[in-house]
Structure 1
Amino acid sequence: MTASASVSAPTLDVVAIGNAIVDVLARSDDAFLAEHALTKGGMQLIDADMAEALYADMPQAKEISGGSAANTLAGLAALGKTCGFIGQVNDDQLGTVFAHDVRALGIRFDTPAMTGDVPTARCLILVTPDAQRTMNTFLGASQFLPEAALDLDMIRSAGILYLEGYLWDPQQPRAAMRAAIDAARGAGRKVAFTLSDNFVIDRHRADFLDLIDHGQIDILFSNEGEIQSLAQIDDFDKAVATMAAKVPVLVSTRSEKGAVAIVDGMRYEAPAAPVAQIIDTTGAGDLFAAGFLAAHIDGRSVADCLALGAAAAAEVISHWGARPEDDLGVIRDRLFA
């Protein structure tokens, strides 16, 4: 990169790297979870055999492209942002479905599909009547994203590189994301990171803290449990304060208790947005990140960023699935009128 290129204006708003997953959602009850020894409200990784067996036992389901970072991009695209996605699918039926869905949203997706017998990833999601979702994820092809598949020019062209913590677990994507961070930071771009889940933090806490301590993360997204796990502090306020001292922007969601952001040492709080009925909490954190980032890109206040994040999360939990159904642009315009 030349000096002039490194300070050029971005041509994309956000490029995300994440698991390319097809979500399979079904209504369930506690008895089904108990029968299959599933921890309610949790997320576990499963192998191909369990994925096949659980899928066979699941009630009638809805299938749609998903994955945490891809969900966030769907929200950003709905809010008018230009986006690109990097993730690995197989050259199979679900891989074709995923690619079509993402591109239909106007998101650039050019990662070559892999061939062979490792199928496209899928997440089997069981939603109980209390709207809790229990996720069983077969990572399949998504965990074999190689560094060679990165479009470094696209990464350098985006104002923000958004990374999904779930994808830090497998070795190949972890190496790819490290290379992507180097490319983004070399081009003077921001790096946003979402912690994703406590099990990821437990396995890679040292890596995450090292990235943070070396100034590689500009915007850190978490929920209440994740930030406490990362800091290894049981008190939420103390955990947030500890980690916020190390990153320019820290955002932590707290479900019905709203969300907290600490930006350059200043703390901001916002309530959860009202929702008539919670149907399915899948994707709430992903869409919160989308709303927050969209307002951030627009240069709005931290309070506005939190408010749009909360509004986007409220929309997605009011129906099945992790993608927005109502027009987020209308919701934004109403919110900021």
Structure 2
Amino acid sequence: MARIAAIGEVMVELSPYPTAQEETREIMALSYAGDTYNTSVYMSRLGLETHYVTRLGDDPYSEQIIQRMHDEGIGTDMIERVAGRSPGLYIIRNTPDGEREFFYWRREAPARELFSEPNESVRLYNQLQEFNAVYLSGITLAIMTDTARQSLFDALAKLRGKGVKVIFDSNYRPRLWNTAKDAQNAMQAMLKHTDIALLTLDDEQLLWGDDSIEGCKKRYQALSELVLKRGAEETVLIVDGEEQRVPVPKVDNVIDTTGAGDTFNAGYLAARLDGASAEAAAANGTRCARVVIQHRGGVIEKTLFEAGING
């Protein structure tokens, strides 16, 4: 069985409680989420041996996050606990037109210090070289300092030299970067150390002003494996210069698209690291995402996910 380690941040999530609302106060439901964390949950559910790399505090909410990972079968040996600290927080607010707004409190989150200490960087590198693959995202890069990011890149370069595959989802969130140029530079540097890029065409438009497939092919021509997710449109695969299109069947009862891309990534990687073709892996990713978007939340109940996958 392939072993994969995901690097990133898990945050406390507060969202409107669906059945309880008072005139004088909002009733919120508490959960935990984060893009690479969401993907890790689904990779583990799909049978991929999954471990998580982050920093958490010593507070009750950090403890609950660790317990959630244990419950999902995710390895936590590479999580650093920092005394006196706590994870970041975000609140989801529903607007009158049915859209959702996100408000973040994460500046003091210990995950922002990943790869910032030389001893920790060496320790993580030594642990990561025992894996088949490492997975991270543009959000992982965005929360790091420039120095920590370079330490990460150095580690990834050495890991690839030892045969570890590096998998990257750009997941561009403008508010996490000082400027779009900073994000562009970091993404370009990261893609030099990437074996499989799982990108979203909407993010490409947002970051580069280019939503064409041809533009992406030109920009990332050095990549050996490129996956372009396009929502309800067919997925584009470019593997060793050969392009393929994988259909995305229509879903009539879409409830919530939160986490669809994260879930696609999980399905793709679970199949691809098990030896499936890129085309079969993309079909599996689509199948997993279809289940999630028919329920509310980025991480749905395990029984719902398994029923949807097996149904």
Specify the TM-score bucket, using the shorter chain as the normaliser: 0.7 to 0.9
Which structure exhibits the higher relative contact order, with contacts defined as CA atoms closer than 8 Å and separated by 6 or more residues? 1
Q: Give the total of aligned pairs.
A: 292
Distance across 1 between alignment mates of 2:185 and 2:83: 34
Residues 267 and 99 of structure 1: is their aligned pair in 2 closer, same or farther, counting only changes over 3 Å?
A: same
Q: Is the 8 A contact 1:124 1:135 kept in 2?
A: yes
Counterpart CA distance in 2 for 1:88 and 1:275 is: 37
Normalising by structure 1, what TM-score? 0.77
Hey, what does 2:199 align to over in structure 1?
Answer: 222
1:202-281 matched pairs, under 5 angstroms: 202=180, 203-212=182-191, 215-230=192-207, 232-281=208-257
**Any conservation in 1 of the 2:141–2:186 contact (CA below 8 Å)?**
no
Deviates more, 1:280-289 or 1:181-190: 181-190
Aligned to 2:288: 312
Residue 15 of structure 1 corresponds to which residue in structure 2? 5
CA separation in 2, counterparts of 1:129 and 1:250? Answer: 38
User: SS of 2:171's equivalent?
Assistant: coil
Alignment of 1:107-126 (within 5 A): 107-110=74-77, 111-116=79-84, 118-126=85-93
Compute the TM-score of the two structures, normalised by the length of structure 2: 0.83
1:294 to 245, 258, 270: 270
Q: How does 1:94-133 map to 2 (within 5 A)?
A: 94-110=61-77, 111-116=79-84, 118-127=85-94, 132-133=99-100
The match for 1:178 is: 153
d(CA) in 2 for partners of 1:244, 1:65: 33
Asked if 1:190 corresponds to 2:176, the answer is: no
From 129, 136, 154, the equivalent of 1:163 is 136
CA distance in 1, matches of 2:284, 2:96: 27
Structure 1 residues 235 and 287: CA distance shift in structure 2, 3 A: closer
Q: Equivalent residues in 2 for 1:54-69 (5 A)?
A: 59-69=26-36
Q: Specify the code of the residue in structure 2 equivalent to 1:166.
A: I
Counterpart CA distance in 2 for 1:82 and 1:157 is: 12
Q: Relative to structure 1, is the Cα distance of residues 87 and 96 closer, same or farther in structure 2, using a 3 angstrom cutoff?
A: same
Question: Which of 12, 21, 24 is 2:14 aligned to?
Answer: 24
Q: Partners of 1:296 and 1:312 in 2: how far apart?
A: 14
Greater Cα offset, 301-310 or 200-209: 200-209
Query: Which shifted more, 83-92 or 234-243?
Result: 234-243
Deviation of the 1:86 alpha carbon: 0.5
Higher helix share: 1
**SS at structure 1 position matched to 2:3:** strand
1:148-196, Cα deviation, whole Å (9 max, x unpaired) = 4453333111111101211212316524532441342232111011111
What secondary structure, in the 3-state scheme, does the structure 1 residue paired with 2:82 have? coil
In the alignment, is the contact (CA less than 8 A) between 1:15 and 1:154 conserved in 2?
no
Amino acid at match of 1:209: Q
CA-CA distance at 1:135 after TM superposition: 2.4
Unaligned runs of 5+ in 1: 1-10, 29-56
Q: Which moved more, 1:264-273 or 1:244-253?
A: 264-273
Q: Decide whether aligned partners of structure 1 residues 274 and 13 sit closer, same or farther in structure 2, where only a CA change above 3 A counts.
A: farther
- The alpha carbon displacement at 1:198 in A equals 4.6
> Where do 5+ consecutive residues of structure 2 fail to align?
19-23
Task: Describe the superposition over 1:31-73 as per-residue Cα deviations: whole angstroms up to 9, x where unpaired.
Answer: xxxxxxxxxxxxxxxxxxxxxxxxxx98323222211101101
Map of 2:55 onto structure 1: 88
Q: Distance in 2 between matches of 1:259 and 1:309?
A: 10
Contact preservation (8 Å) 1:72, 1:286: yes
**Alpha-carbon contact 2:153-2:193 (below 8 Å) kept:** no
Instruction: Please state how far the C-alpha of 1:13 moved relative to its aligned partner.
Output: 2.0
Which residue is 1:53 aligned to? none
Q: Is the contact made by 1:291 and 1:309 (CA closer than 8 Å) also made in structure 2?
A: yes
- Structure 1 residues 70, 259: CA separation in 2 closer, same or farther (over 3 Å shift)? same
SS in 2 for 1:59: coil
Q: Check 1:161–1:315 CA distance in 2 against 1; reply closer, same or farther (3 A cut).
A: same
